[in-house]
A and B are shown apart, each in its own frame.
Chain A
Amino acid sequence: MTYAYLTRLINRKVLLVPDNYISKELFDSISVYIITKAELQRSTITVTLQHYKILGFPVRIDDKKYARNAFHFNLCFVCDSDARTVQYESVVTKFSDYLMAMEMESNFLSGGKANTKLKPILKQVLEELNTKGECALTEGPTATHLKVCRIRCDPSPVMDHQVPVFIKELPEQQWDLTTQQVTPYIDGFNHVARIAALSDVENNLVKACVQNLVYYGVVALVPLFQYGNVYCTTPKLKMLAQDLELQRKCLHYVAKTQRQLPTLRDVFRIYSAMTRGTTMRDLCIRFNPPNLRINERKLVQFGVLEEIIRRVHKYPVILSDHSDLQKSLSGSSSLDEICCATGVTTQHLEDQLERDHNVVLLWK
């Protein structure tokens, strides 16, 4: 819920949309946060009261033409006190800048027509932001577009050995050139370094592109699939036995062909056999998934995406005083990372490490 209101601070006139939404007493008690000191000009200020949250952006325009050589105004949005208002901050700033431009061009605010001209605009912004989340203002010579964007957390950096998987359709829009070139190679099995090689795009650009897609929730990152990998189950496995929707989704996802779906019991049995110490290779020999109409790579992918299973990574640690090896085998980087960085196959590296008694493998 947003309410817009504007204060003109020269004669402490307050314009409210809707009318009289905030009582005068309340306004007086918080006026110090709306009519601010000079140091706080052009900062977004949010004050949380018992029932309301008021988000404002005080602005001052210095000009000789005004009575006290300056014109102050502050456009505020009023929300419920428990609402998140971070996403409105940029909107308030932009809207204030728009009003400032209008004021400088045509004395829009100070001209005394505020009630007749400004009120419809505030009303429009309030209604359209609440219903559509965006608003286009075309009043006067300049136009501006306001849009409320959800603020999400920054995605963590993308590593060479991670595999991007589409978790929803790529939205139909004009993507940038890198994304257009990279997306055909995102098939759920190629890792980032490989995608870079296949698409002939520089590695860091691919990472930036994938990170961007992760931010928009189009792509998720899963660990690289290899038959030597070890997975273990998480407490969420129980959901697979209970949740019918999840079962349906799972069976369609892991099926070898869509004509004949595998049975839930087989799928569940393979998942529950994933324990530390059992590689995918062992499981394939034990269960022979193609016979059960299961695609084992899809099975693992679904499990990781739904967090039914989790990859058990191996972290080699060197215990002797090899200063050159201590950096790479310190226990903070997994075998995958080391393989990807050095270009050695996992099998080869594991054999090498096994022969060295000073190296300890931690599985976690």
Chain B
Amino acid sequence: MEVNPLSVILVKSDSKGDRLLFRYPFQIQENSEPSNTRRKNPYTLPIVEDLLQSPPQPSSNMNKGNLTGFTDEVLSSLFAVKFELCNRKFELKVNDVRFVSHPTLLQLRTKQDDSGIMLINIVFALQALASHSVVKCYHDLSKRMGIVLKHEEKRCGYVSDQTQLMTSVHDDFYSNNPGAAFQIILEKCTLATNIKKMYDDLCNTGLVNIRVNRWIPLSFCLPQKVHQWHLRGKIVEPEDIDRMTENENNYRQLEEAQLSKMNDIINLSNEKKEEEDFKIITYRKKSRKPVKKCYGENEDSEFAIDRKVWLYLCLKALRPYHSLLLLHPIQHMNDFTSLDGSPSLVRMLSQYSPLKNLYTLAADADLTLSHVFELAAHLVYWAKATVIFPVCSTNKYVISPNAPIHLTSPLLDKFCDTFPGANLIRVISEFSLPTSLGQKCNPLCHPSQQSQLVQTIIWMLQHHLLLQLHTYVQYMPTDNGLLYSKM
């Protein structure tokens, strides 16, 4: 998984020199099997001419998802960057590992002169394959962490305390076992605990939620991981980012591409009446749930998404007739809406229902529609919600082509827990052919059954197992398509 970090490294550099203070993970499992199983034939003669011409094996600094081959001294010398490179993006690639960080300069609280300037660098080691947008996100995280540390140092000298603690542990343990020093640091220093939590969060969910010095909350979302873009195996080219972020004009181009896709979603059937005289061909077209479209991860285009652009696209794609579908039970949202969060978000969530469209939701929550759009885009970015068409009896659903349904899938048990006695495979198999809610209900069935049916559909939509089909009308007046094709 190329979005996961290999390692997180903390390096400081001040008037006393540079030092690697902490890195996580620090326990490297020993390679049990011998690395070179193929024994060299002792009778082979080295061919002298070949030594220079044959390409040597490309060296690797990765071993089972861990960083190897660098001593702490090498790492600290690499990341204690010169002042010219501070306070901007730092990117270094060595063999197949890419390091990214935002070296931050801070003024120590105790020494208010030039000797009190310290460089603190939180470096993420990634696989070199990681796409440009992933690298950008990690840089952003490192930058945020730097800002938090700078503030905490100014407020209460947090960084000088922590670095001193770490340095003293290193000095004590240096002689016997340097590996043990990291363990002690992890137990003693809250900054090290934060780094560990950050690493674990990034590997598990992609949502980082830590509180630095038990005071400043730092939350971060790695969209590629949260939305599992990496599972689709596409690599984003840097040109795509340039194309998007260069200027407003390019925004517009992109927007056109998006809007043309959004038109796919808009049901054009109301145009039918005006054009009845002409030959009209109707067809059913597969379309993903609209919000997926605004990720730009649709088949024909793959955009790297930077947060600003992403929110812009999401806002452009939203329509008043869409509705919001939370991916987690509403009770879990309390963690997300922190104490100083926007009160309008709380207000909107109190009126939330997947059966309401955004327009009704805005009216019920007494918010403006554009603000509801912003809140929805925000929730979608943080993978708390997705956007669907309001569930109603005429919506046609089919199984999504990349639904991970097989006998060993963990979703089967999860479904069983939510709906006891029901089997996901049996339930979803009814959507092999396009099926609407109305078709599945009959007047004889009990209202409770019907509500359970709606609940199962919502559950499957939350897990992206279903997609909705729409009917489109294509106007084709002549044998050769539209009239302008003749001109």
Contacts and interface: CB of A to CB of B under 8 A. Distances in A.
A360 B474 contact: no
B116 interface: no
B432 A362 contact: yes
Interface in B269-313: 279, 281-287, 298-300
B476 A268 contact: yes
A interface, over-half SS? mixed
12 contacts: A30-B82, A32-B77, A32-B78, A42-B59, A48-B92, A237-B285, A241-B474, A241-B482, A244-B485, A265-B481, A310-B286, A360-B426
Contacts of B409: 331
A44 B95 contact: yes
Contacts of A343: none
Contacts of A37: 73-74, 77
| 9 A-B pairs with the lowest CB-CB distances in the bound complex, closest first | A272-B283, A331-B406, A48-B91, A46-B93, A363-B432, A29-B84, A263-B479, A29-B82, A364-B399
Given A39-B74, A42-B59, A25 B476 contact: no
B284 A233 contact: yes
B433 interface: yes
Contacts of B233: 153
B65 interface: no
A263 B480 contact: yes
A97 interface: yes
A351 interface: no
B438 interface: no
A275 B481 contact: no
A159 interface: no
A185 interface: no
A43 B59 contact: yes
Nearest to B283: A272
Nearest to B98: A46
Contacts of A266: 479
Contacts of B284: 232-233, 272, 275
Contacts of A265: 279, 281, 476, 478-481
A86 B284 CA distance: 43
Most buried by A among B401, B409, B482: B401
B84 A235 contact: no
A167 interface: no
Nearest to A237: B285
A235 B261 contact: yes
Given A236-B299, A272-B474, A330-B406, A361 B429 contact: yes
Given A235-B300, A360-B426, 7 more contacts: A39-B69, A82-B238, A235-B287, A238-B263, A265-B481, A319-B423, A362-B429
Contacts of B299: 234-236, 307
Contact of B433 (A43, A97, A276, A310): A276
Nearest to A105: B52
B84 A25 contact: yes
B474 A268 contact: yes
A34 to B, nearest CB: 12
Contacts of A247: 480-481, 485
Nearest to A42: B59
B434 interface: yes
A96 B237 CA distance: 28
B405 interface: yes
A140 to B, nearest CB: 13
Nearest to B80: A32
A269 interface: yes
Interface residues of B, number: 74
B407 A271 contact: no
Contacts of A363: 398-399, 432-433
A307 B83 CA distance: 52
B43 interface: no
A285 interface: no
A324 B143 CA distance: 54
Contact of B282 (A50, A100, A235, A272): A272
B92 A45 contact: yes
A93 to B, nearest CB: 8
B463 interface: no
Interface in B128-157: 128
Contact of A26 (B84, B261, B480): B84
Contacts of B423: 319
A275 B94 contact: no
A250 to B, nearest CB: 11
Interface string A131-161: 0000000000010000000000100000000
B422 interface: no
Given A45-B93, A330-B407, A362-B425, A276 B432 contact: yes
Contacts of B93: 44-48
B342 interface: no
Contacts of B52: 97, 100-101, 142
Interface in A321-364: 326, 330-332, 360-364
B85 A39 contact: no
A33 B92 contact: yes
A43 B95 contact: yes
Most buried by B among A37, A43, A269: A43
B218 interface: no
Contact of A271 (B94, B283, B434): B283
A1 to B, nearest CB: 15
A234 B94 contact: no
Contacts of A22: none
Interface in A251-298: 263-266, 268-269, 271-273, 275-277
A277 B426 CA distance: 18
B259 interface: no
A49 interface: yes
Contacts of A319: 423, 425-426
Given A268-B476, A363-B399, A326 B407 contact: yes
